[in-house]
Amino acid sequence: MGRYVIRRLLQMVPVFIGTTLLIFVMVYGLGDPVAAMFGDRTPDPATAAQIRHDLHLNDPLIQQYWIYMSGIFHGDFGKASTGQPVSELLKSAYPVTLKLTIVAFVIEAVIGVALGLFAGMRRGRFLDTGVLAITLLVVSIPTFVTGYVLQYLVGVKWGIVKPSVGDGAPFNQLIMPGLVLAGVSLAYVARLTRTSVAENSRADYLRTAVAKGLPRRRVITNHMLRNSLIPVVTFLGTDIGNLMAGALVTERIFNIHGVGYQVYQGIVHNNPPTVVGFVTVLVIVFLVANLLVDLLYAVLDPRIRYA
């Protein structure tokens, strides 16, 4: 187990370097940050040259990347065009998105697994067909459509919840955005659980569990669920990263000042340090989530542990 963890940790290093380098090149290599700072006006050549020098923009890209990365490990993410350090933006934005992600994740995991379990155990019956149809519908509609429709109906027309989220993003106001954000993933979780449950309920070891005279409840929780959830846990773990990235759309709809909002601002105003900084942290979240999934996977399935 120890060696497995070390191997997985080492695998993270090249992935981290690869992804961040790619982002860095895309943002800095394609476009002129100095021109962006001045918008429509043409900058004074001397000032522009000074800025280029200060920001190391004349150095080779790989060297710029190196300077940027060594900064990050000292907590220096550079400055946004407003002069605010990016690390401060990160500190204010990430907790908000994290809250939204947690709400969405709980909705996705609890409702998704429950729907999948009931559908999988009643294959071909009304409930099963219903779940399949509804999840297909949810998967087919883009998030921004469900988002605006729910916001209009529940928030504006019926006035059940506030249509936009206020300062500090309290949990109760995040339920509707969380549902919108979770929607598509929830549908996937439900379908994945359903298939897995259906497959496992035909397994030989379940027949053994019944033949042992175990109560039905125990057969389902201790024998079937544990096996059926292995692929679901994998999906859920990797989806944490997707939820945080997907929050970009949801946050704009519900006016939540989180990661999505900041990245959007960074892209619109061509502000490289903000974009690269936020995406780098997102990469770290992805990697850590994946590591946790792999460790959990080994806990759930002993056949992995000794492989």
Partner 1 sequence: MTVIDDVSNVPAPDAALAPLLEVRDLHVEFHTRDGIAKAVNGVNYSVSAGETLAVLGESGSGKSVSAQAVMGILDMPPARIPKGEIFFQGRDMLKMSGEERRKIRGRKIAMIFQDALSSLNPVLSVGYQLGEMYRVHQGLSRKAAKAKSIELMDRVRIPAARERVNDYPHQFSGGMRQRIMIAMALALEPELIIADEPTTALDVTVQAQVMELLAELQREYNMGLILITHDLGVVADVADKIAVMYAGRIVEDAPVHDIYARPAHPYTKGLLQSIPRLDQKGQELYAIKGLPPNLTRIPAGCAFNPRCPMAQDICRTDVPPLHPVGTARGSACHFWKETLGD
Stretch that binds partner 1, among 46-54, 55-63, 161-169, 223-231 (CB under 8 A): 223-231
Whether the Cβ atoms of residue 247 and residue 101 lie closer than 8 Å to each other: yes
Q: Does 228 bind partner 1 (CB under 8 A)?
A: no
Looking at 10, 30, 160, 211, which residue binds partner 1 (CB under 8 A)? 211
CA 294 to CA 8: how far, in whole Å?
Answer: 8
DSSP β-bridge partners for residue 85? 79
Q: Does 56 bind partner 1 (CB under 8 A)?
A: no
Whether the Cβ atoms of residue 113 and residue 193 lie closer than 8 Å to each other: yes
Within 287-306, the residues that bind partner 1 by CB under 8 A are: 300-303, 306
Whether the Cβ atoms of residue 163 and residue 151 lie closer than 8 Å to each other: yes
Minimum Å gap between C-beta 228 and partner 1 is 11
Tokens of 35: 């021109």
Q: Which residues contact 178 (CB under 8 A, 6 or more apart)?
A: 100, 103, 104, 106, 107
Tokens of 266: 């960074």
Looking at 53, 56, 91, 212, which residue binds partner 1 (CB under 8 A)? 212
Alpha carbon 41 to its chain's center:
38
Looking at 44, 205, 221, 292, which residue binds partner 1 (CB under 8 A)? 205
Burial of 122 (0-12, 13-18, 19+ CB in 10 A): middle
User: Based on CB atoms, which residue is closest to partner 1, 214 or 249?
Assistant: 214
User: Based on CB atoms, which residue is closest to partner 1, 187 or 219?
Assistant: 219
User: Based on CB atoms, which residue is closest to partner 1, 91 or 212?
Assistant: 212
Contacting positions for partner 1 (CB under 8 A) = 203-205, 207-215, 218, 222-223, 226-227, 230, 300-303, 306
